[in-house]
Amino acid sequence: MSNLDRISTLLAFTLEEPENPFNFYALALEYRELDKPKAAYLFDYLLKTFPNYLPTYFPAAQFFSEEELMDKAKQTLKSGIALASVLKEEKTKRELTNAYQNLLFETDLE
């Protein structure tokens, strides 16, 4: 299945199941390389509409960092760390904390 076929399928899923964050998450991942403004919109939409959907935080922060939106990337990671703590998702919390520390280190070098 091509990227465009996956996007078409995922768009249909978002219409069929607008309450399912996974469909928007998968769509944002597909758009990351093809259409950065759409990916940014979808990551923002996910973080606002489905703030308890923990899988969003790492790729969203990574995307924002790649787009040189460092403050947004840091805030996204901090929010994800807080959510992981509340949800008692220790492995995810460690991964987000490591990503946050790496981002701090990288931005401190610039």
> What pLDDT digit, counting tens, does each position of 52-93 carry?
999 999 999 999 999 999 999 999 999 999 999 999 999 999
Q: 27 with 44: CB under 8 angstroms?
A: no
Domain ranges within the chain, ordered by starting residue: 3-109
Q: What is the mean pLDDT of the chain?
A: 95
Is the full-model pTM beyond 0.85? yes
Residue 9 has pLDDT above 90, yes or no: yes
CATH number of 3-109: 1.25.40.10
* Nearest CA-CA partner of 29 in 73, 59, 51: 59
